[in-house]
Structure 1
Amino acid sequence: MAHPFLAALERRVLLADGAMGTLLHDRGVPGSACLDEQNLTNPELVQAAHREYLTAGAEIIETNTFGANRLRLRSFGLADKVRQINAQGVALAREATRDCGHQAFVGGAMGPVGVGLASGGDVTLRQAHRAFAEQAQALIESGVDLIVLETFPTLAEAREAVLAVREVAGDVPLVAQLTFQRDGRTWTGEEPAEVARELHNAGADIVGVNCVPGPQAALDIIEEMARATKVKLIAQPNAGHPRVVEREVAYPATPHVFAEYVPRLVAAGCVVVGGCCGTTPEHVAAMRDALRAEPGPRPAEAPEAALAPPAILPLPDEELGPEEATLREKLAAGRFVVTVEIDPPRGLNPRRALQGAARLKLAGVDCINVGDSPLAQVRMSPFAMAVLFRQQLGLETIVHVTTRDRNLLALQADLIGAHVLGLRNVLCLRGDAPSGSGYARAVGVWDVTPVGLLRVLKGLNEGIDWAGNPMAQPTSFFVGAAANPTAPSLEAESKLLRRKVEAGADFIMTQAVYDIEALERFLEQASRFKVPILLGVMPLHSERHAEFIHNELAGVVVPEAVRQRMREAGEDALAEGAAIARELIAAARGAVQGVYLIPSFNRYDLAAEFVQELKGEQVTAQTPR
């Protein structure tokens, strides 16, 4: 006879709860506290959170035991309370379900060991296995209906947890969820299809994804899993990428956004949907209403057609010599410039990047922006890539330099070397934190802030290093700084921009912008600094692309009106995205001195069309009538 939980899944899609930690922190539990210990010290608060999710319609509530394994608890001095904390967590959840008015299952939540197992820490898989088995034993003996493994960063650790649970109980329903990075892979590089197959083979009944920054990221991963296996699937994404608004952490993905994604997730193959960090009972209630509106089992929708890769463009045979005027000279002369970002390759072959740059060169681009391991993903050195662009194509570059990976000594050494190799333009950035990539144990350096890096560069230009030591001769860097026109606080962003200009910024490049009104307010504030501003423009490709950027790309806001236009555009979404980009450029044209194009999906062909269009407008504007 089928387990009641598995039998319920055969009849309907089940709704899981949302974040426990978000509610506990919002209600006064300090960020430094052990959340699992609240089962013992603050049981009323934990049970109240369960009741709120049940009232919102949750049919699966997870025990407040995510970190209640021996290896995590020992950092709080609670390693001897594994059984007590887990048992009390089950009791609180079970008691909450008794008068909720509908069938609800209690899932025993288990997270990873949390001590850097995936990155060569001092805990072995055998030790982790024992910790997982101990916790699973406590949860199962206390009466859970199922075990929910969640937020595992690697396939190896998740597989070990599945094996440990199956060692304790071969018949308990078992859910296994991993978290994935922005590139759609785990912290150690496994792809969703491999994860789904391996965990199902190891003994998981349901496999899926949680704790990714928004429902679009979850949908992409679920679709990959569904194409690779017939295993039942689950998705519990975060409410977008967290942002700091007035010193408070906020999540941008609203309950309405989650409701919109429910039918898509179900169509892709999910039999359980819910939420993770940042989601609340309001999100769960919205998903409940969306599930009730579903007419029943739906066939999986055809996945969105992949964008065709640009045609391979042969590198020009003729010499592509350097421009007569540099970026510095063009901006000083008041000319309107166009730059395009090209990220270095993840491996040894730069051919695609060079081909894209060659196409842009022929279109008339002024500069190529070269990223510095964006998203904290390892890529070829930006200095090496910039030198290739310069030597092979005669292209001027703007090298992105973050303060994340190098201390003050290394920063100055790399910059001096870059100068010797002919690189002059530098964009000073902080860099994405390595904790959000496959390098959880990597340490962000951040000896200086971007403002500090600006001062370093200006010191080198004056012939002195950071320590005040004289150099044989000064450098001649042309230094840029970043700005965010849609930052939560325009006042704070303006103050930071003033500091950057005072530290020596020669020009400003903005993040991608989609809100014309916010952009106009920012440009009005920034005009008093008297430095050239290059507007960041990332043309939208589809409704899905717009939702992803809004909900899951830190610091970027896509207004509802723009997202609605992309929804209504349908098959013409690519053209609509280009139209929106043109409107932004037109609105800012008199207040900015250039455009910084950020092509998505390596669509350098589309970027080249924009470059030709913008440079053509410039020629027309300069031609006497």
Structure 2
Amino acid sequence: MSLVEDLKSKVLIADGAMGTLLYSHGIDRCIDELNISKPDEVLKVHQAYLKAGAQVIQTNTYGANYQKLARYGLEDQVKEINQAAVRIAKEATNLNQNAYVLGTIGGIRGIKKSVASLGEIKRSFREQLFWLLQSEVDGILLETYYDFEEICTVLQIARHETNIPIIAQVSLHEVGYLQNGMELSDALFQLEKLGADVVGMNCRLGPHHTIRSLETVPLPQKAFLSAYPNASLPQYVDGEYTYGGDDDYFEKSALALYKEGVRLIGGCCGTTPRHIAAFARAVKDKAPVLEKVLPERKVQVQLKSSGSSTKHVYKKAKTTRSIIVELDPPRHLDTTVFFAGAKALKEAGIDALTMADNSLATPRISNIALASRIKNDIGVPPLVHIACRDRNLIGIESHLMGLHSLGITDLLAVTGDPAKIGDFPGASSVYDLNSFDLIKLIKQFNEGLSSSGKQLKGKTDFSVAGAFNPNVRNLDRAVQRLEKKLAAGADYFISQPVYSEEKMVEIYESVKGLDVPIYIGVMPLTGARNAEFLHNEVPGITLSEQILTRMSACGTDKLKATQEGMAIAKHLIDAAFDLFNGIYLITPFLRYDMTVELTKYIHDKEAQRKERKVFNG
């Protein structure tokens, strides 16, 4: 029986990431070349996935083409590497004689078409395809194609050369849309018309956003749907990428993918046999979904654009309770909601408005531009994040001088999420500095010196905050990082959102010896899916089982979910109120109405506290 015949009556489980496991074995060179130099290591990975329940495995050939192998001087070994890969994968199927082996060919272009011309892509693709077909694979897997022109081109070549099953998978930066702006449903429809037997998506997005993307995709008329999500958003810790995601979440995700009509479910970056085993448990013996009702399309309304000196906020936090609110800069040119939010938050009485610097490696309107406007036009003190990811040392020094010239003096120094997790995974993460280095540099500017020791002919007056992630297993280690940032010159700290009273107390006990303000993070939840996503896929955020249950009980009732999210946030503020002098409110999805209400709630609590103090003498 062929793969396509099997998919007519079954939901099949594919394997997960190859590189993730090989890297965990201490291997850090060209992965495709390992088919020749370390075939046993590759074999072990295939066997681990088959033991976990995979019925479809892919050859270790994602980058085994002329273009990519040339980076390592291996461009003349395309034949040997691809043939060895198929041989190893077939040997692994001795564990399951019914398993299928797909010959994998990865995309070459990322965000830059200039990486390779279509002519170069065609020549490279034909060579790799030839050797995979000569080795008699059971199907061809085209995966991680960001450029739609590229996947259409290679798919047509493959369909012309062979009748074996072809799986064509695109990769997305945004939920439901390709990087050229095409809707996922339209793209998959076109790939089906070009002859793909299975169409779907892989990489870049974790389970949550993969499921959301597929919600608007109808069942194909002839082809079948596939999905290979990443494990989660990766964290960049001590120079390495790490992924999360627990088994229960992946079982739930597999069920959700199944309900969207997916017939072939596998994993991409960060996934391991543990994740694949969870997928297999979830859909075992389930008959495929044959009918699917799509949600009604929402009509989006295009809004028209709209058109005091800064204080050091940490100084107030040393003497009284203060409130910082984060309001993300828009990812588009419409600033109407952003400035309406800034005005409403000023009226509510916040002490500073903080703006991230392209958070999650996603481009937004420059926070320095928005900071200047809210400072001058609205009168809200801005607190500007600076990420080390997007600028080299030259750019960072220029940026600091620009901030000083604008009279913006409150900063938050962060290393920044790696470009790999953002809208443009092919973009470079600079990282000339890390957050510790940046704090030191900012303080050096306050002494009138550049990084090279050059006189700046003046001194800046920056206060600098450090980021604090308390949602870790080893809180003592996180506090040691704070102490290191203090030594570098940090004036105060701003934490990731915390969703547990017990955690609040634990944090307080751990940091009370630090003689600086700590702004404890509180972010209201907006719904059950929002809660699941934050808990399972966003690095540095952990929700308690009780909160997940409470949000899940709201179902799809948006009003009820908002009310429950606000109730949870107020409860957390109550827990933090007498422990920390600063509250850091994070606005979800520009829902500034929620942070306005929480700001007023904090002020009311502060007024009540003062009244009690006066009453008690």
Say whether the fold is shared (TM-score over 0.5): yes
Aligned partner of residue 225 in structure 1, secondary structure: coil
Residue among 153, 156, 169 paired with 1:177: 169
Q: Which moved more, 1:334-343 or 1:277-286?
A: 277-286
Are 1:254 and 2:240 matched, yes or no? no
> Could you tell me how far 1:29 is from its partner in structure 2?
5.4
Alignment of 1:62-461 (within 5 A): 62-98=58-94, 100=96, 103-113=98-108, 118-169=111-162, 171-181=163-173, 185-186=177-178, 191-226=183-218, 232-243=224-235, 250-292=242-284, 294=286, 297=289, 299-300=291-292, 322=308, 327-332=313-318, 334-440=319-425, 442-461=427-446
Q: Which moved more, 1:124-133 or 1:359-368?
A: 359-368
Aligned partner of residue 215 in structure 2, secondary structure: helix
Q: Deviations over 1:544-583 (max 9, x none)?
A: 2122112221222234443233323433433333233233
> Could you tell me how far 1:193 is from its partner in structure 2?
3.5
Cα 1:522–1:186 shift into 2, 3 Å: farther
Cα 1:445–1:284 shift into 2, 3 Å: closer
1:483–1:493 Cα contact (<8 Å) kept: yes
Residue among 577, 580, 596 paired with 1:608: 596
Q: Deviations over 1:206-261 (max 9, x none)?
A: 22121235211211122233499985321111222334789986532123221111
> Could you tell me how far 1:281 is from its partner in structure 2?
2.8
2:234–2:421 Cα contact (<8 Å) kept: no
Aligned residue identity for 1:218: T
**1:319 match:** none
C-alpha separation in 2, matches of 1:433 and 1:382: 18
Are 1:584 and 2:572 matched, yes or no? yes
C-alpha separation in 2, matches of 1:367 and 1:227: 49
Residue among 469, 472, 492 paired with 1:507: 492
Cα 1:521–1:234 shift into 2, 3 Å: same
**1:11 match:** 9
C-alpha separation in 2, matches of 1:247 and 1:409: 22
> Could you tell me how far 1:285 is from its partner in structure 2?
2.6
2:175–2:209 Cα contact (<8 Å) kept: no
> Could you tell me how far 1:131 is from its partner in structure 2?
1.2
Aligned partner of residue 480 in structure 2, secondary structure: helix
Residue among 17, 27, 30 paired with 1:30: 27
> Could you tell me how far 1:519 is from its partner in structure 2?
3.9
Aligned residue identity for 2:132: L
Aligned partner of residue 529 in structure 1, secondary structure: coil
Cα 1:229–1:526 shift into 2, 3 Å: farther
> Could you tell me how far 1:368 is from its partner in structure 2?
1.1
Q: Deviations over 1:171-204 (max 9, x none)?
A: 3221112233366655566553443244334332
1:189–1:438 Cα contact (<8 Å) kept: no
Aligned partner of residue 175 in structure 1, secondary structure: strand
> Could you tell me how far 1:354 is from its partner in structure 2?
0.6
1:539–1:578 Cα contact (<8 Å) kept: yes
2:50–2:95 Cα contact (<8 Å) kept: no
C-alpha separation in 1, matches of 2:197 and 2:281: 26
2:144–2:171 Cα contact (<8 Å) kept: yes
C-alpha separation in 2, matches of 1:179 and 1:378: 18
Aligned residue identity for 1:487: V
Unpaired stretches in structure 1, ≥5 consecutive residues: 317-321
C-alpha separation in 1, matches of 2:161 and 2:12: 26
> Could you tell me how far 1:397 is from its partner in structure 2?
1.1
> Could you tell me how far 1:59 is from its partner in structure 2?
2.0
Q: Which moved more, 1:391-400 or 1:240-249?
A: 240-249
> Could you tell me how far 1:600 is from its partner in structure 2?
2.0
C-alpha separation in 1, matches of 2:305 and 2:155: 50
Unpaired stretches in structure 2, ≥5 consecutive residues: none
Aligned residue identity for 2:102: G
C-alpha separation in 2, matches of 1:410 and 1:39: 42
Aligned residue identity for 1:265: L
Q: Which moved more, 1:402-411 or 1:492-501?
A: 402-411
Are 1:618 and 2:606 matched, yes or no? yes
TM-score by length of structure 2 reads: 0.89
C-alpha separation in 1, matches of 2:310 and 2:102: 67
Q: Which moved more, 1:376-385 or 1:556-565?
A: 556-565
1:532–1:592 Cα contact (<8 Å) kept: yes
Aligned residue identity for 2:65: N
> Could you tell me how far 1:83 is from its partner in structure 2?
2.3
Aligned partner of residue 217 in structure 2, secondary structure: helix
C-alpha separation in 1, matches of 2:453 and 2:34: 52
Cα 1:308–1:485 shift into 2, 3 Å: farther
2:12–2:56 Cα contact (<8 Å) kept: yes
Cα 1:299–1:614 shift into 2, 3 Å: farther
C-alpha separation in 1, matches of 2:408 and 2:483: 26
C-alpha separation in 2, matches of 1:244 and 1:454: 19
1:154–1:190 Cα contact (<8 Å) kept: no
Q: Deviations over 1:477-499 (max 9, x none)?
A: 22211111113432332222112
Aligned residue identity for 2:572: L
> Could you tell me how far 1:293 is from its partner in structure 2?
6.0
Cα 1:481–1:191 shift into 2, 3 Å: farther
C-alpha separation in 2, matches of 1:307 and 1:612: 33
Aligned residue identity for 1:600: P
Aligned residue identity for 2:152: R
Aligned residue identity for 2:317: L
1:233–1:270 Cα contact (<8 Å) kept: yes
C-alpha separation in 1, matches of 2:74 and 2:303: 59
Identical residues among aligned pairs (%): 34
Aligned partner of residue 325 in structure 2, secondary structure: strand
Q: Which moved more, 1:401-410 or 1:422-431?
A: 401-410
Q: Deviations over 1:556-613 (max 9, x none)?
A: 2234443233323433433333233233322222222222222222211222222222
C-alpha separation in 2, matches of 1:579 and 1:363: 19
Could you say what the CA RMSD is over the residues aligned between the two structures, in angstroms? 3.3
Figure out how many residues of one structure are paired with residues of the other and give that number.
610
Cα 1:285–1:378 shift into 2, 3 Å: closer
Residue among 528, 533, 539 paired with 2:513: 528
2:11–2:288 Cα contact (<8 Å) kept: no
TM-score by length of structure 1 reads: 0.88
> Could you tell me how far 1:147 is from its partner in structure 2?
0.8
> Could you tell me how far 1:400 is from its partner in structure 2?
1.0
2:312–2:410 Cα contact (<8 Å) kept: no
C-alpha separation in 1, matches of 2:254 and 2:232: 15
